[in-house]
Structure formats: structure tokens, C-alpha cells
Structure 1
Amino acid sequence: MIHRIDVRVVAPVRDTEVTDRVADAVRNLFPNAEIDEEPGRLVAEAHSMEGFSERLHEQEILDTARTEFFRRADDDGFAFALKKQAAFEGVINFAVGNPDELGDIEVQVTVHEPDVEAFVDHVAPPTEEGRPVERDDG
């Protein structure tokens, strides 16, 4: 199955923070992202969520991820926010509610192929009793 996606990651950089450290936080979760520095923030582009998906499986938070992805999904893609502090540690922690003082990492995923639901199923498969459910393709 071909996946064509664009991932845009925006991470605020506060005056008290080291830009490289924020870049590391983004790379921890999106290892193949190309990161550009802009005033007060980093903007990263990626075309894969494989590393992110592996982390979701390791942390066993597929159901949480699916909920977050579909909460802000439309026909073109989905968006979610991540806690920056957790990302420094290489941990996925979805930001829900008020951003903390460091600001949250905002992720916007545009899905060109196949479609949003199929891509979410790929990144964070549906689970039964906490285990990913494999879908038969035929």
C-alpha cells in the first residue's frame, strides 16, 4: 500500500530554551523530518510517520492515538498536539486542554494517498483488548 503524506510539525521555541534541544525533541518523534528555524519556532516537514508509529506501538497507546487523530480529522488529513517536555525524552504524550508554558508541538498531517482513515489504521491500527488487530487485505 502506497502512503503519500505531508507532515508539518511546528514547535515553539521559548527564549529560555535551546533551539537545538527543541529540534532534538522533534527528531525524537519524527526522525526523518527536515527542520527549519523561524523566529520563535521550528517548522519541520516529513513524509513518513513510521518512527512515530513504532513509538505508539512500543508505548501501547494506539487507542489514545486513534482518538486524538480522529478528534481533529477531516477529508484532507488530521492534526494533533504533543507535549514538548515528553518529546525531549522521546515519549509521545498527546497534549489535551491548555498548552503548558513551553508550548505544545503542533502536528498537521495531510494525507494524499490512500485516505485519512486507511492511513490512521496504518499508523495506529485498531486494537482489541489492547492488541493491534491485523486487517486482511483480501
Structure 2
Amino acid sequence: MIYSVDVRIEAPVRDTEVTDRVRDAVSNIFPAVELESEPGRLVGESHELERFSEKLHEQTILDTARREFAKRQDDEGFSFSLKKQAAFKGVVNFSVGSPDELGDIEVHVRVRDPSVEELIDHIAPPTKDGKPIDPADRD
């Protein structure tokens, strides 16, 4: 599948944190991101979500991902938050409830092509018994 997306990633950098460690946390999940340092945070853009999708499959958290995407989805795209500490270890852990004291990695995905739903199905396909459903078997 070919898709066209803009992924904006923001991660706060607290005074007690090392900027390079926060940069590594983001890059572990989104290796194609180009981060720039701004006062108190790192901000970057990417145009691919393949590694992120691979992590969701490896960790078998596709249903969780779909639920998190749906919470902050609109016609233009979707957003979600990830825990920095887990990301530093290369693990996707969605942030739910109150933000972590170090702040969360905020991810905003704007979808140009295909539709938002089709992109979500590509990144985190629907499952049955925890296994991705073959697109030919859907509907």
C-alpha cells in the first residue's frame, strides 16, 4: 500500500532529562523522524509509519492501537500519546489517563492518501482472536 501522511511528533524535554535520550526514545519508534530542538521540547516530522506498525504487530497490540487512534480521530487524521520511558526501550506503550511526569510523546498523523480508516487498517489491521484479519476476508 502506498500512503501519504505527515506525522508531527513532539516530546517535552524536562530539565532533569538528557536531550539525546529523549531523541533516542522518539527515534526508536519513528526512525525516519528528523527532530529539531526547541526550548523545552523536541519537534519533528516524518512521512512514514512502517517501524511503528511493525512494533504494534510484534507486541500484538493492534486492538489497543485501534482504540487509541479512534479516541482522537477526525476526517484529517488521528493523534495519540506514547510513554517516553517505554519508547526509550523500543516499546510502544500508549499513554492513557494523566500524562507521565516527564511528559508524553505526542504524535499527530495527518492523512492525505488514502482515507484515515484505510491508513489505520494498514498500520493496525482489525483482528480476530488476536491475529490480523486478511483484507480479503473483511466485510
**Range into which the TM-score falls when normalised by the shorter chain:** over 0.9
- 2:2 maps to 2
- 2:64 maps to 64
Figure out how many residues of one structure are paired with residues of the other and give that number.
137
| TM alignment of 1:85-124, pairs within 5 A | 85-124=85-124
Between the aligned partners of 1:134 and 1:127, the Cα distance in structure 2 is 9
Between the aligned partners of 2:23 and 2:44, the Cα distance in structure 1 is 9
Amino acid at match of 1:78: F
CA RMSD between the two structures: 1.0
Secondary structure of 2:136 counterpart: coil
Structure 1 gap ranges (5+): none
Between the aligned partners of 1:19 and 1:61, the Cα distance in structure 2 is 28
- 2:28 maps to 28
Shift of 1:104: 0.6
Q: TM-score, normalised by structure 2?
A: 0.97
| TM alignment of 1:45-64, pairs within 5 A | 45-64=45-64
Q: TM-score, normalised by structure 1?
A: 0.97
Shift of 1:100: 1.2
Shift of 1:117: 0.2
Between the aligned partners of 1:73 and 1:84, the Cα distance in structure 2 is 22
